[in-house]
Amino acid sequence: MYNINKFSIFLIFLLFITYSTFSQDEPNNVTICWDTSLSMLERDIKKEFDVLDKIFKRHSNVKVQLLLFNIIVEEQSFEIIDGNWSELKEVLAKTVPDGATLYEGLEDHILNSESYFFTDGNSLIENDFLPINKGNVVVNTVKDPNFKLLEKSVLIGKGRLMDLSFDPRNFVAKRNDAIKPLDSITGTIYMDNEPKDKIKVQIVGNNKVYTTDIDGKFWLPAKPGDSLLVSDEVYGIRKILPIGYFNNDLDIFLDPDVTNLEGVTVVQKKIENTDITGNGTKQKEAIGYAVQTIDSEDISPTATDANMAIAGKFSNFNLKSDQDITEFSARPNATLLGNRYGLVVVDGVPIEQSDSSGPKGFTTDSGTEGYTADASFLNPENIASITVLKGLAAANRYGTLGNGGVLLVTTKTAQGSGNTKKKVNSALVQNNVYNAKENIEQTDSAILDILENTTTTEDAYKQYLKYRNFNENNDSFYLDVFSFFKDKDKNIAAKVISSLWEKYPNNETYLKITEFGMRYLDFNNLSVILNGKIHDLKPTALQPFFNEAKIKLANGEKQEALNKFVNLENGGTYKNLNVQPIQKSIERELKNLIFRDRSRLDITNVKEKYFSNSKMNVRLLVEWSNPKSEFQIQFVNPQNRFFNWEHSSSFDTKRIQDEIAIGYNMEEFEVYDDLKGEWIINATYIGNLDNQITEPVVLLCTVFNNFGYPSQKIDKIILHLNNQNVRKKIISLKI
């Protein structure tokens, strides 16, 4: 009975709106704003065409301005004669939704006071609204619209809303006494930058204890203003953390070598002058990669197996208490499939390796099977030393088997055997001669192959829309398509990459990826919006402040850019930002801006040290989409020698923690003309700090040629790193 009454009220309302909408005097011109964003895939076009049919029966002779909009507004014109709107209908029927929803800027295109808006209200900008005039009509047929925005828009503009998404058969009365869900906090706890299980978490003042799962994740019903107590009896950890108003998803980093006792921090560090490497004992100063070593004195006499012998001894080393020592990982996880376990080498001989590719005894879709090796033969009492090698350079000796790190075990038996094996020349094994063919990406993805075989951008776009039906949840698909269109058709490229924004409107990584794309395309108005949303998610993060100034500079607003950089250099408006990690970038931007435009700038508040110019042949600024991503930047000089910079927990544990805490994701590099000739700059994807991360890894590289000289030139490169340990070229430079 209730449903029937509701349906009757709905029909009366619809008849009233329809009559009042279409009983007006016939206008000469009308505007139709047709939402073509990705969320309109669920539109009921039959109902929308019924509405248009009624409009053109009432106004049978009229000129129509059609605005197709998502993040781009496309305009077309039609003339309706004797109610015949077939040409317009054909265009609308062929329009396929794509890209993100924005109403900002739509008003600038509307020419007529009589306007109809076909949209669901799902704008990605907070406090956005439709530019409605008195008497305008908004039509929605999507089942999950943003009613709040639609109702606000028609109220402000004195328009009318026709919601045709209601289906009385699906109507269920909502209880007024519905229980409001509790506020909750989620997070991940890391021990030496590896997700750690069995760590206790509780709210201070509450005896309820929660424990992290195998991926270091936890959940508990806390709220801003509460404090969390994180503890672990095995490692002697006890840490209290206040929850701020922007801390609904926490990353907590712990160090087993640090004990926090009521604000007093005690740190234990063992100092050694030499370490064992894959090529014998060497001075630490001569080792170009991460090495940690323990000897027999560090092994507890109560240890009954190799796992217990090394428990808590190494940083950035992941091995759970119930695992075999062959299941360790000293590298981040790069994929849910593929082996992430390291290699154990006993007295110079690699032993059988465990495999994490899939569940034990089951074969995965990729044909790999999980497997646990057995190193129970290792007697802790017979171990003389254990060394962990980390990083790509350290694992090079053992090839792909060492991707997860290498554990070198030397037994007392081997030490006392008087081994006279010929010493290996480490220069021959660990050289830095560049091999242009090694691990280089050779093939394109399937969608890129398809697009490359089209003859026009129109045909390529049709192919994209066709294959999108099978790849809606494949984020790499959108990035590959973007890479195809970015230098061919900027509008299409912007629509494609903004689909990730539409799909993940509040995900920081996808917002950064989309912002990178818009900055590459020089769509600076959209970069401003996206950067603002990133700032709103983490108001104290450094990167959005820096990017705000950079976008101002790209827009030609040089005085505003200067003011932003100066304000940031001084710690922000409230002088509370720690800008030290990006100080070099701020300094170079200020010096370069003043050098190039000093006569047109008010430099009253600029420190004198910024009046001297900085010059270099090449300045490279690299930004990345997620601080938990691990990758390597490689520089190859004209002598064919390479030098690596690695963004990983193995090489710089504290840096990644600082990036997450302070909120920055960039690094500066420079090349001078000491060596003239061709330089090659590459990037290699290693993995992710958190093995639950599935977001793509994207780099935005800004290359300044002849930085600080009158001939300065800027190039931008955007790079999607999607295959582990596969090298991609960023750029080749002639110096």
Percentage of residues of the chain with pLDDT beyond 70: 80
Sign of the alpha-carbon dihedral angle for 206, 211, 212, 218: negative
Q: What pTM value is reported for the model?
A: 0.73
Tokens found for residue 640: 């064919």
Residue 183 amino acid letter: D
For the cut 80, the answer to whether the pLDDT of residue 330 exceeds it is no
Task: Look at residue 561 in the predicted model and tell me its pLDDT.
Answer: 97
DSSP-based three-state secondary structure for 456: coil
Query: Tokens 């009366």 belong to which residue?
Result: 12
pLDDT band at 18 (very low <50, low <70, confident <90, very high): low
159: CB partners within 8 A, 6+ apart: 132, 133, 134, 135, 136, 137, 138, 153
Question: Which residues share a beta bridge with 277?
Answer: 280
Least trusted range by pLDDT, from 96-105, 267-276, 412-421, 499-508? 267-276
Tell me which DSSP letter residue 659 carries: I
Q: Which of 137, 133, 29, 119 is nearest to 77 (CA)?
A: 29
Tokens encoding 414: 């081997």
Q: Mean pLDDT, to the nearest integer, of 217-226?
A: 84
Per-position DSSP letters for 326-377, written without gaps between them: GG-BSS-B--SSS----EEEETTEE-PPPB-SSSBT-B-TTS-BBB----TT
Q: What is the CA radius of gyration of the chain?
A: 30
> What is residue 348's predicted lDDT score, i.e. its pLDDT?
74
pLDDT at position 298 is 84
d(CA 404, CA 354) in angstroms, rounded, equals: 11
* pLDDT, tens only, 24-44: 455 689 999 999 999 999 999
Report phi then psi at 452, rounded to 5: -65, -25
Which residue do the tokens 């780099």 mark?
699
pLDDT bin (cut points 50, 70, 90) of residue 411 is confident
For 466-480, the pLDDT digits (tens) are 999 999 899 999 999
Domains of the chain: 2-170 (3.40.50), 185-267 (2.60.40.1120), 274-429 (2.170.130.10), 615-735 (2.60.40)
Alpha carbon separation from 650 to 62, 284, 314, 322, 646 (Å, rounded):
68, 16, 11, 24, 9
- List, in order, residues 6 or more apart from 266 with CB less than 8 Å away: 258, 259
CA-CA distance, 83 to 65, in Å (whole number)?
16
Question: What's the token pair of residue 380?
Answer: 């802790």
Least confident of 370-374, 526-530, 664-668: 370-374
Residue 318 contacts residue 194 (beta carbons within 8 Å): yes
Dump pLDDT digits (tens) for 247-272. Answer: 678 888 886 654 443 333 333 333 34
Q: What's residue 723's pLDDT? A: 85
CB atoms closer than 10 angstroms to residue 446: 12
pLDDT for the residue numbered 353: 83
Residue 342 structure tokens: 């390291």
Share the mean pLDDT of the chain: 82
Q: Return the pLDDT at 470.
A: 92
Residue 599 has pLDDT above 60, yes or no: yes
